[in-house]
A and B are shown apart, each in its own frame.
Chain A
Amino acid sequence: RKEVEQDPGPFNVPEGATVAFNCTYSNSASQSFFWYRQDCRKEPKLLMSVYSSGNEDGRFTAQLNRASQYISLLIRDSKLSDSATYLCVVNDSEGRHDMRFGAGTRLTVKP
């Protein structure tokens, strides 16, 4: 079975901390990778796509290691508003639209 695995956490960190989340995926044919965040009882919201070369968006940095089938998300200078569940999302193969979600990693940022 093709799976997306994440450390469930929870991660409890103080404001200003740097925190990293990891994700592994089992299907080597996967082509598209994303990080979404989900607040309690809300919809997943796209945080960022993950590109082969790695990419950064403000305080957020995503990395992809295809050889190890591993994706990471780094959050620097964490804010209270970063508290959420972070979902690793992978498509099964190029041209397919069905996305596989990890179970999510819960982050709580405390004052």
Chain B
Amino acid sequence: EPEVTQTPSHQVTQMGQEVILRCVPISNHLYFYWYRQILGQKVEFLVSFYNNEISEKSEIFDDQFSVERPDGSNFTLKIRSTKLEDSAMYFCASSATSGRGHEQFFGPGTRLTVL
């Protein structure tokens, strides 16, 4: 069964450093997403991406964040200068379609720890 994969599974970084989180969405999916979940809190939407551009982003997704699809398979989330409060689990998701019933499938997540 096709699945979303993410690397690394755990990333530890110093405050102020840049991190890049990587995702390989399901191969025939067209829509890609990043979510985050701070420990003990709800899953929060960050950004959606379609046709090589951002389609929606939340208020969390400020200038410190960027996304890219550098080739036909990878989808990345970059945090330019990490803050302590960026420590969270970051989930990538993908879906085949948009609109009603567009089920999103999640990767296993990258746990980001900012020290």
Residues on A close to B: CB < 8 A?
31-32, 34, 38, 41-46, 49, 87, 91, 94-104
Q: Are A31 and B91 in contact (CB under 8 A)?
A: no
Cα-based distance from A97 to B56 in the complex (angstroms):
7
A42, A96, A101: which contacts B44 (Cβ < 8 A)? Answer: A101
Q: Are B101 and A99 in contact (CB under 8 A)?
A: no
Name the interface size band of chain B.
Answer: 20 to 34
Cα-based distance from A34 to B106 in the complex (angstroms):
14
Given A44-B91, A87-B43, A104-B42, are A98 and B56 also a contact pair (CB < 8 Å)? yes
Closest-by-CB residue of B relative to A31 is B100
Q: Are B106 and A44 in contact (CB under 8 A)?
A: yes
Taking CB atoms, residues of chain B closer than 8 Å to A41 are: 89
Cα-based distance from A3 to B59 in the complex (angstroms):
15
Taking CB atoms, residues of chain A closer than 8 Å to B48 are: 97-98
Cα-based distance from A91 to B103 in the complex (angstroms):
11
Given A87-B43, A97-B98, are A43 and B103 also a contact pair (CB < 8 Å)? no
